[in-house]
Amino acid sequence: MIDFEELRNRMVDEQLIPRGIKAPRVLSAMRRVPRHLFVGEELQSQAYGDYALPIGEGQTLSQPYMVGVMTEALELQGHERVLEIGTGSGYQAAVLAELAWHVYSVERIATLTMRAKRLLEELGYINISVKVFNGTLGWKEEGPYDGIIITAGAPEIPAPLIEQLKEGGRLIIPVGDRYSQILTRVVRTPEGVITTPLFPCIFVPLIGEHGWER
């Protein structure tokens, strides 16, 4: 029997803390969310490793460190409405739901959306809404958002997402070419957006209008 809780704590202690993730709420959320349930059974023993994992449909669940960095950059305190583009397995949405008031998550592949929705319900998350949609257009009806996170790589920051960000809101997105990007943090201010490049990264492509062609 694998002790997943121990693996999870080791993931935080060996991968997240030494590389500079500090926010105590982010660290404790990642000690709680059962990452192994978000991958296929054959991958569960590897779920807490220092790498991304395949989740089907050619998509991937990001490396734990990447989830930690992106989550920390949103600076969530608990009262926020957060939009995620790229639900995938639902893992990142679960981490966000531990830290924000409500998470709205959009995924373009219906099979992934359905699987994530079912699992998140089973785990008891009542503050996550998911839908099948082209997320480069955001989820206008539920906005504006305090935080927006895009977990797929984009050629540029989709304009509709900036429009759906509150003043003072944070947006985190990998921007660049199809096979390598720069993780980028954007803050919306009354004077315009402030964009800060963080570090290089590799994500699957954001597909659709305001993203890449198929």
Sign of CA dihedral 204, 207, 213, 214: positive
Smallest gap, in angstroms, from Cβ of residue 135 to ligand SAH?
Answer: 3
DSSP-based three-state secondary structure for 7: helix
Are the C-beta atoms of 182 and 198 separated by less than 8 Å?
yes
Q: Helices 24-32 and 4-11 sit at what angle, rounded to 10 degrees?
A: 160
To the query of whether residue 129 is one of the catalytic residues in this protein, the response is no
Smallest gap, in angstroms, from Cβ of residue 48 to ligand SAH?
Answer: 14
Contact residues: ligand SAH, CB under 6 A = 55, 59-62, 85-86, 88-89, 91-92, 106-109, 112, 134-136, 151-152, 204, 206-208, 211
Q: Helices 64-73 and 24-32 sit at what angle, rounded to 10 degrees?
A: 140
Smallest gap, in angstroms, from Cβ of residue 1 to ligand SAH?
Answer: 25
Query: Can you tell me the distance from the alpha carbon of 193 to that of 182, in angstroms, rounded to the nearest whole number?
Result: 17
Closer to ligand SAH by Cβ: residue 122 or 167:
122
Closer to ligand SAH by Cβ: residue 187 or 207:
207
> Known catalytic residues?
62
